Amino acid sequence: MSQQDFPGLSRRRVLQAGVAAGVSAALGSPLLQAAAANAQILRKIPASGEEVPVIGTGTNAFGVNDPAELDAIRGVLREIPGLGSKVVDTASGYGTSEDVIGKLLVELGNRDKIFLATKTPMRGDLSAPVAMIDQSFKRLQVTKIDLLQIHNFFGPKELLPHLAEYKAA
């Protein structure tokens, strides 16, 4: 399927619909709230025992500057914990998405309710892999990233030892 299969449908419209659905569920009837909460399938992280939903919020389109779009993203990040969700998945390769998420989580003060996942760079200067990952911490304005994923296997020999150091820290 392609964009041509869905004329008039854009990422912005999908995001707006998602926010509207989330707010409706949060503010709507108890039946809608129960349905939203029960729709989550949880899995335990073996090392910590923490349960997280298997479905999260992807943020490839969160790198925006428009005030209306920022308001929509703010609404998503504010409402998802109350809907039984908490996984927010981003990547350094998603433009300024990490910056936007970091700023809004600080503004909202709900970082402790979000399971934050990001990814290693897709490619780049592997002479400084720690610096590349450290940039994600700075952009997200956090000292802990809950899940650091490998975006692809570009330079695994250089990157994997550093990922082990982050895990230990």
Nearest to residue 162, comparing CAs of 122, 138, 123, 134? Answer: 134
* Cα–Cα distance, 67 to 69 (Å, whole number): 5
What was the pLDDT predicted at 136?
A: 93
What was the pLDDT predicted at 24?
A: 54
If one counts every other C-beta atom within 10 angstroms of the C-beta of residue 126, the result is: 15
What was the pLDDT predicted at 82?
A: 86
Question: Could you tell me if residue 84 is left (phi over 0), alpha (psi between -120 and 50 degrees) or otherwise beta?
Answer: left
Q: Are 85 and 132 in contact (CB under 8 A)?
A: no
* Cα–Cα distance, 1 to 166 (Å, whole number): 39
What CA–CA distances, in Å, run from 119 to 80, 105, 163? 21, 18, 11
Instruction: Give the predicted TM-score (pTM) of the model.
Output: 0.73
What CA–CA distances, in Å, run from 145 to 16, 29, 60, 135? 27, 34, 17, 12
What was the pLDDT predicted at 135?
A: 92
Structure tokens at 64: 């925006």
What was the pLDDT predicted at 156?
A: 75
Please state at what angle helix 30-38 crosses helix 11-27, rounded to 10 degrees.
Answer: 120
The 8-class DSSP code of residue 142 comes to -
What was the pLDDT predicted at 115?
A: 96
What was the pLDDT predicted at 111?
A: 96
* pLDDT tens by residue, the chain, 169 residues: 455 544 555 666 555 555 555 555 555 545 445 445 544 688 899 988 999 988 889 898 888 889 999 999 999 999 888 888 899 999 988 889 999 999 999 999 999 999 999 988 766 656 666 778 889 999 999 999 999 888 777 777 777 888 888 888 8
